[in-house]
């Protein structure tokens, strides 16, 4: 109380010292900062029977009240493309403080979004839904870095990026999840602490000139069918997670080439003791959609012996023909020296395995291994 009084005195003092018309807290579109004291004093000069005189009026004052306003938008306002089982899938929102003062904002989310607000139908919910503020302002959700769950001390006209983060289930109904973000204006003033949610000063409260009233002046942010209403001190916006493509057109072609038979170097035949290279080419023919976690398995033919250390993944190849070798893999499945791929040979099941982490749309990759004919 006394601190507030001191601040008012300070403001009043500044006002009388500074010249009229200087720019002060006027550059913002939110207007004069709440708590600013507006003062008015008039002067007069006159003559009475030829004698000059002057007069000064009283000083009228009032305190500028808090005009609470905010906007919340989804940015971009298009569904976020996600995959099944995706962890930390997020939609992005922007909260702007249009209040004439520094405010905190409480954040909450709702997965029950009414039909008609967004294009598409809300058919599934995310698990483990959380809300985080973009603390490093890079526009990307960084797990472990963006950990603030409320907007702290946002200046007038300032904005903050907010992520609604969740996990996509492994099986879903339909392909779209919609979520609503609610930002509620709260009292600022204490860094690191979410202030209490603002409550408008009742209209019939006996109002002192020197008190900062709270007046809600925010729009209905989401139209008639949304959760938001005008002058409620809160704003809503909606985002969608879309499993646009659940399958890609993946094809595998296999071929065998006799490399050497110990007899003819020019035209080797599949004789006992000959070395045969099997080549598998994987093609993702769904343009623009990457396939992830591709596992190729192949049991070596009967009457052949696997040539140790012959698995190569990541070479160029198409239509079942390996054009170049890829990265040589370790038979025990441990990470190789180079490349993102993995390979292994299981001597018990006589199975060759090759793993390709990502294959972008329209691309092919080759994997090969060798056997010796018994």
Partner 1 sequence: MTLRILAAAIPALVLAAPLAAAGPLTMTTRMMVEKRVAARDGSTATTMIPATRAVPGDRITVVLAYRNGGTAPIGNLVLANPVPRNVAFRGAAAGSAAPEVSVDGKTYGSLDGLRVTTPDGATRPATANDVTHVRWRLSSPVAAGQGGELAFQAVLK
Binding of partner 1 at residue 59 (CB under 8 A)?
yes
Other CB atoms within a 10 A radius of the CB of residue 114 amount to 15
Candidates 55-63, 314-322, 334-342, 354-362: pick the segment binding partner 1 (CB under 8 A): 55-63
**303: alpha, beta or left? (left if phi > 0; alpha if psi -120 to 50):** left
By beta-carbon proximity to partner 1, the closer residue of 67 and 342 is 67
Binding of partner 1 at residue 7 (CB under 8 A)?
no
By beta-carbon proximity to partner 1, the closer residue of 164 and 214 is 214
Candidates 74-82, 208-216, 230-238, 240-248: pick the segment binding partner 1 (CB under 8 A): 208-216
Token pair for residue 194?
């979410």
Binding of partner 1 at residue 4 (CB under 8 A)?
no
Give the one residue of 1, 3, 17, 55 binding partner 1; rule: CB under 8 A.
55
By beta-carbon proximity to partner 1, the closer residue of 30 and 281 is 30
Least distance in angstroms from the C-beta of 197 to partner 1: 19
Binding of partner 1 at residue 295 (CB under 8 A)?
no
Binding of partner 1 at residue 42 (CB under 8 A)?
yes
Phi and psi dihedrals of 47, rounded to 5? -130, 140
Write the CB contacts of 167 (distance below 8 Å, at least 6 apart in sequence): 85, 86, 87, 88, 89, 126, 127, 128
- HSE-up of 214 (CA within 13 Å, CB side)? 15
Q: How far apart are CA 127 and CA 87, in angstroms?
A: 9
Candidates 53-61, 106-114, 182-190, 238-246: pick the segment binding partner 1 (CB under 8 A): 53-61
Q: How far apart are CA 28 and CA 269, in angstroms?
A: 84
The C-alpha torsion from 126 through 127 and 132 to 137, rounded to 10°, is -60
Site size with partner 1, rule: CB under 8 A? 45
Binding site for partner 1 (CB under 8 A): 15, 18, 20-22, 24-26, 30-32, 36, 38-49, 53-60, 62, 64-67, 100, 201, 207-209, 213, 215, 217
């Amino acid at each position: 109380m006394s601190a507030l009084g001191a601040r008012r005195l300070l403001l009043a003092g500044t006002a009388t010292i500074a010249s009229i018309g200087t720019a002060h807290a006027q550059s913002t579109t939110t207007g004069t900062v709440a708590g600013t004291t507006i003062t008015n004093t008039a002067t007069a000069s006159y003559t009475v029977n030829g004698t000059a005189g002057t007069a000064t009026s009283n000083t009228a004052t009032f305190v500028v009240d808090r005009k609470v306003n905010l906007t919340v938008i989804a940015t971009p306002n298009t569904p976020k493309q996600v995959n099944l089982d995706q962890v930390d899938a997020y939609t992005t929102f922007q909260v702007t403080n249009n209040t004439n003062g520094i405010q905190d904002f409480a954040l909450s989310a709702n997965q029950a979004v009414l039909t008609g607000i967004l294009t598409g139908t809300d058919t599934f919910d995310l698990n483990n839904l959380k809300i985080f503020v973009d603390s490093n302002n890079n526009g990307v959700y960084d797990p472990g870095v963006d950990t603030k769950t409320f907007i702290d001390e946002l200046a007038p006209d300032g904005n903050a990026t907010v992520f609604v983060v969740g996990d996509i289930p492994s099986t879903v109904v339909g392909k779209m999840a919609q979520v609503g973000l609610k930002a509620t204006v709260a009292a600022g003033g204490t860094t690191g602490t979410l202030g209490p949610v603002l409550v408008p000063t009742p209209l019939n409260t006996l109002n002192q000139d020197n008190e900062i009233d709270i007046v809600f002046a925010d729009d209905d942010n989401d139209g008639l069918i949304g959760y938001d209403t005008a002058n409620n001190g809160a704003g809503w916006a909606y985002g969608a997670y879309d499993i646009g493509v659940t399958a890609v057109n993946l094809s595998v072609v296999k071929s065998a080439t006799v490399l050497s038979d110990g007899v003819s170097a020019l035209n080797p035949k599949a004789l006992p003791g000959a070395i045969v290279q099997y080549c598998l080419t994987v093609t993702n023919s769904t343009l623009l959609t990457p396939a992830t976690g591709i596992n190729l398995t192949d049991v070596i033919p009967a009457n052949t012996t696997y040539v140790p250390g012959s698995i190569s993944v990541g070479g160029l190849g198409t239509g079942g023909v390996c054009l170049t070798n890829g990265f040589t893999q370790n038979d025990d499945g441990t990470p190789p020296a180079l490349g993102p791929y993995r390979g292994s040979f299981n001597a018990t099941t006589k199975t060759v395995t090759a793993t390709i982490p990502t294959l972008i749309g329209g691309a092919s990759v080759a994997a090969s291994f060798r056997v010796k004919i018994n």
